Amino acid sequence: MSNPTAAILIIGNEILSGRTQDVNVQFIAQRLARRGIRLEEVRVVPDIPQRIIGAVNELRAAYTMLFTTGGIGPTHDDITSACIAAAFGVPWELHGETARLMREAWGERVNAARLRMATMPRGAVPIKNAASIAPGFSLGNVHVMAGVPRIMQAMFEALEPGLPEGEAIEMRAVHGVGVFEGSIAAGLTEIQNRFPTIDLGSYPYKRGEVWGVSLVAKGTDVAALEAAIVEATDLIKSRGIEAVQGEPQSGGA
């Protein structure tokens, strides 16, 4: 497959403590899939420099691009930007244009803490965005974004037109309410074997007291996806169960 690949690194004490529910992964994942970029790994690490630096260097080498979220605000626990500089072995220094834009927008409220948000690894390109004067930045194949979902989304949207593209990774799904995976597993294996270019996943879910299964076909070959879902639909119906095609439903696996 020639699709570009990606990883997400969440600088995330507040995720690891359970205080905050991450919602950034799903947003980025859906947008990358639409663009034909395969998200191949997500990591959450604590706000500890050597952990961040190690993960950045491992992930930027392994994938076409790396997105980070979190840790780029003005407070003492915002250490992502300095860690990216350390990971690349470049100085962490004031970005003149960004400091100027902050002073234009914020005037006297620009203090030492806020200037941390204008301090970047040398060579970084700011990610100007609609949600915040303080930008994210890109350095090489690493895109450094805020953790607050609304700001992260604005930064991602600013980046999006410049990201590489692959064939869009499409999904088709069918849901069987009241069907058990174990009763269709053998038939599913046969369908997967007949359509080797697609990924056929089986995801049980429970809604109220009723179990069901979502069968999800993913890949770039839409004709194969649709043919596989027709067969999966017939498989569910062969168990005397109603099959509902449509948007993939959230559920867990």
Scanning 27-35, 83-91, 135-143, 221-229 for contacts with its own copies by CB under 8 A, the matching segment is 27-35
* Amino acid at the residue 28: I
* Nearest approach, Cβ of residue 233 and its own copies (Å): 16
* Nearest approach, Cβ of residue 228 and its own copies (Å): 13
Q: Which of residues 44, 227, 230, 244 is near its own copies by CB under 8 A?
A: 44
Q: What is the 3-state secondary structure (H, E, C) of 19-64?
A: CCCCCHHHHHHHHHHHHCCEEEEEEEECCCHHHHHHHHHHHHHHCC
Q: In the complex with its own copies, which residue's Cβ is closer, 122 or 150?
A: 150
Instruction: Please report, as residue ranges, which positions from 198 to 227 form the binding site for its own copies (by CB under 8 A).
Output: 199-206, 216, 218
Q: In the complex with its own copies, which residue's Cβ is closer, 152 or 229?
A: 152
Paired residues of 207 in beta bridges: 210
The count of chain residues that interact with its own copies, using the rule CB under 8 A, is 80
Is there binding between residue 109 and its own copies (CB under 8 A)? yes
* Nearest approach, Cβ of residue 201 and its own copies (Å): 5
Task: With H, G, I as helix, E, B as strand and everything else as coil, classify residue 94.
Answer: strand
Instruction: Please report, as residue ranges, which positions from 141 to 200 form the binding site for its own copies (by CB under 8 A).
Output: 147-150, 152, 169, 171, 181-186, 188-189, 192, 199-200
* Amino acid at the residue 126: P
Q: In the complex with its own copies, which residue's Cβ is closer, 22 or 231?
A: 22
Scanning 91-99, 122-130, 160-168, 243-251 for contacts with its own copies by CB under 8 A, the matching segment is 243-251
54 Cβ contact list (under 8 Å, min separation 6): none
Q: Which of residues 114, 128, 237, 239 is near its own copies by CB under 8 A?
A: 114
- Taken as a whole, the chain contains a residue count of 253
Alpha-carbon distance of 3 to 249, in angstroms, equals: 25
Q: Are 198 and 224 in contact (CB under 8 A)?
A: yes
* Nearest approach, Cβ of residue 38 and its own copies (Å): 8
Alpha-carbon distance of 2 to 103, in angstroms, equals: 44
- Cα 238 to chain center, whole Å? 37
Tokens, residue 66: 């790396």
* Nearest approach, Cβ of residue 234 and its own copies (Å): 17
Site mask, its own copies, residues 52-81, x = CB under 8 A?
------------------xx-xxxxxx---
Q: Which of residues 19, 61, 108, 246 is near its own copies by CB under 8 A?
A: 19
* Nearest approach, Cβ of residue 98 and its own copies (Å): 14
12 Cβ contact list (under 8 Å, min separation 6): 20, 22, 44, 45, 46, 47, 69, 70, 147
